């Protein structure tokens, strides 16, 4: 996307946010935002986000309004109305507690709207949907993960979520995706949405709190671990989330995660102990040079 582009009569030449899988740019009048999807499945990610935002808007969840979506040349794009608010932060246990309140409130509303769903990417069922939750999680990892010693163990331990109901998932519940306005909290960035066990979103939250604190130079104290443990994400799903993180880093970063450490986390049945193990593992990987 060029530094200046026009859609209809609107010029998008304002602030740019560059991410691995998208580029966003605000309009000159700061009333709307253009998002161009790139990298992995841009067409599907565009479709999923537009579909999710349209649905949750009808359910009364505060989200950006979709103004337009389409394709220009080889780029898939969406235009959203800009919403007010500042991104949540997680610098202290008070911040984390407030963030988790937002997470639980959103998860409850998504679960209430879920009815006899099958697991899969996006919110619309398709012929390529996996047979169970375990496969839905494994499908998010690259084929190279299969060559590691822990692969078979992880497959076995992920059976713990197969009996859980499938719910609508946001798919990327970072604190920064909750925007705090005066009378409302907006939830943004729905392109990774899916259908699966609630533990998938909760493990994502646990991971992001741990990583953000550690990489920002803040030690993780027990009160924060207790708060994260209350989400109830099983050790197996926390282990899967660590693998997904490393799978998207440099090719050799995965080899820094020992099979023994990952399997111990995947086997851990106590949620507090699992969160503590996850925090220690991320700290060790950080010390070994794995980038954020």
Q: In the chain, pLDDT over 90 holds for what percent of residues?
A: 89
pTM of the model: 0.94
pLDDT, the chain, mean? 95
Q: Are 85 and 135 in contact (CB under 8 A)?
A: no
Which token pair is 64?
């950006």
Whether 3 shows a pLDDT value over 80: the answer reads no
Which pLDDT tens digit goes with each residue over 48-74? 999 999 999 999 999 999 999 999 888
List CB contacts of 107: < 8 A, sequence separation 6 or more. 167, 198, 201, 202
Closest CA to 89 of 102, 80, 79: 102
Per-residue pLDDT band for 4 (boundaries 50, 70, 90) equals low
Whether 1 shows a pLDDT value over 60: the answer reads no
Whether 14 shows a pLDDT value over 80: the answer reads no
First to last CA, the chain: 26
What average pLDDT does this structure show over 14-24?
A: 86
- Classify strands 185-187 and 167-169 as parallel, antiparallel or unpaired: unpaired
Whole-number Å distance between alpha carbons of 147 and 162? 24
């Amino acid at each position: 996307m060029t530094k200046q582009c026009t859609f209809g009569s609107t010029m998008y030449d304002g602030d740019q946010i560059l991410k691995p899988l998208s580029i966003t740019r605000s309009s000159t009048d700061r009333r709307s935002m253009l998002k161009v999807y790139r990298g992995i499945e841009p067409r599907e990610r565009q479709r999923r986000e537009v579909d999710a935002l349209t649905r949750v808007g009808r359910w009364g969840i505060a989200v950006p309004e979709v103004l337009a979506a389409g394709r220009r040349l080889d780029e898939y794009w969406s235009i959203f109305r800009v919403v007010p608010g500042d991104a949540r932060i997680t610098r202290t246990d008070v911040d984390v507690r407030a963030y988790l309140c937002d997470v639980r409130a959103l998860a409850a509303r998504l679960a209430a709207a879920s009815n006899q769903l099958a697991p899969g990417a996006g919110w619309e069922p398709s012929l390529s949907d996996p047979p169970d939750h375990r496969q839905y999680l494994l499908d998010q990892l690259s084929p190279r993960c299969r060559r590691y010693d822990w692969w078979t163990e992880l497959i076995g331990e992920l059976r713990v979520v197969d009996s859980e109901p499938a719910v609508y998932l946001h798919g990327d519940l970072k604190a920064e995706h909750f925007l705090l306005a005066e009378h409302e909290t907006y939830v943004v960035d729905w392109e990774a949405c899916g259908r699966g066990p609630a533990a998938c979103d909760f493990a994502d939250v646990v991971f992001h709190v741990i990583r953000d604190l550690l990489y920002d130079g803040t030690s993780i104290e027990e009160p924060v671990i207790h708060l994260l443990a209350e989400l109830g994400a099983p050790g197996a799903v926390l282990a899967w989330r660590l693998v997904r993180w490393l799978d998207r880093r440099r090719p050799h970063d995965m080899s820094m995660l020992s099979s023994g450490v990952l399997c111990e986390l995947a086997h851990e049945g106590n949620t507090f102990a699992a969160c503590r193990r996850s925090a220690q593992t991320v700290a060790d990987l950080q010390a070994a040079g794995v980038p954020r």
